[in-house]
A and B are shown apart, each in its own frame.
Chain A
Amino acid sequence: MIAVVQFGGSNCDRDAVQALEQLGYTAERVWHEDGLPADTDGIVLPGGFSYGDYLRAGAMAAQSPIMADIREHERRGVPVLGVCNGAQIGSESGLTPGAFTTNERARFQCEHVHLRVENAETPWTRRFEQGAVISLPIAHGEGRFEITEERLATLRANDRVLFRYCDPNGNVTDGANPNGSTDNIAGVLGDRDTTAVLMPHPERATLPSRRQAGTDGQGILHGFSERTTVIE
């Protein structure tokens, strides 16, 4: 069962469950205070505005006791996907490197973006070709990826960058960077390939009934197909 962890102020949890069910997965919303159910074999940190973005987006949720449980699952290779606010929670809790902070233009950006697949050898990207251009919606005010020079070098050297903002032809340009992210980075991996965060919303581009948004999100969510049986 894929646990979609709901914090106070999460608001993409239902969308995530619906998108995963559309793809044939069993998914449930799990209130953070209730802890992870015993049969959890996948985890989504959904989008939203947990705790009103107090202090910094994701900072409060990152301190929730369920995060220790999530880390423990993550270490055993249970796939963890953080989307938007879930990405901010992922970086605030140290699951993934860097930080997501205020957009360059200090504006909430709500639009469709193009992303280039930078590493097609992860569960989240295996359904795409290396360098493929996909389209997903973004909706965030604090999505500018920041990281120190040294850690960026390590990120690149270890192939931890999943997606970069690009133009429709796959060129990574300043013009295609919606929020001023360092190196146009839109999504990164954690220590394991099974742990990933991204600012764009795959769950909003998954249902065929929402044709306008496309269905490129499906390939990312299918990362959960590679989850293994959890042995306690």
Chain B
Amino acid sequence: MTAYTATVTVRLKHGVLDPEAKTTQRALDRLGFELSALRSADQYEIDLEAPSTGKAREQVTEMADRLLANPTIHDYEVQISER
């Protein structure tokens, strides 16, 4: 078994309204910053042991499908690195 850290980034699907990002962008505007867009995302770091990178990815993908992301509104990506 190898120790891995998986990083799962969960984002709203393209076209799904992100009110928190909009509000944050407005606040940055008020602070005088100039920006053309702001997107938010949630990131989870998961330490796990697995026989291979592929198996680790498989497990973490299932975690994302079943809990970390809501497929109706979210896309996600999984990165795996050895720890």
Q: Which residues of A contact B (CB under 8 A)?
A: 55-56, 59, 63, 91-92, 98-99, 101-106, 144, 146-148, 151, 180
Contact = CB atoms under 8 A, between A and B. Distances in A.
B19 A148 contact: no
B72 A148 contact: yes
Contacts of A99: 70, 72-73
B42 to A, nearest CB: 8
Interface centre among A59, A104, A106, A144 (most CB of B within 10 A): A106
B29 interface: no
B73 to A, nearest CB: 5
User: Interface size for chain B: under 10, 10 to 19, 20 to 34, or 35 or more residues?
Assistant: 10 to 19
A147 B72 contact: yes
A134 B16 CA distance: 29
A99 B17 CA distance: 13
Contact of A146 (B22, B67, B68, B72): B72
**What 10 A-B pairs come out closest when comparing CB atoms?**
A106-B19, A99-B72, A106-B23, A102-B19, A99-B73, A146-B73, A99-B70, A106-B20, A104-B19, A101-B73
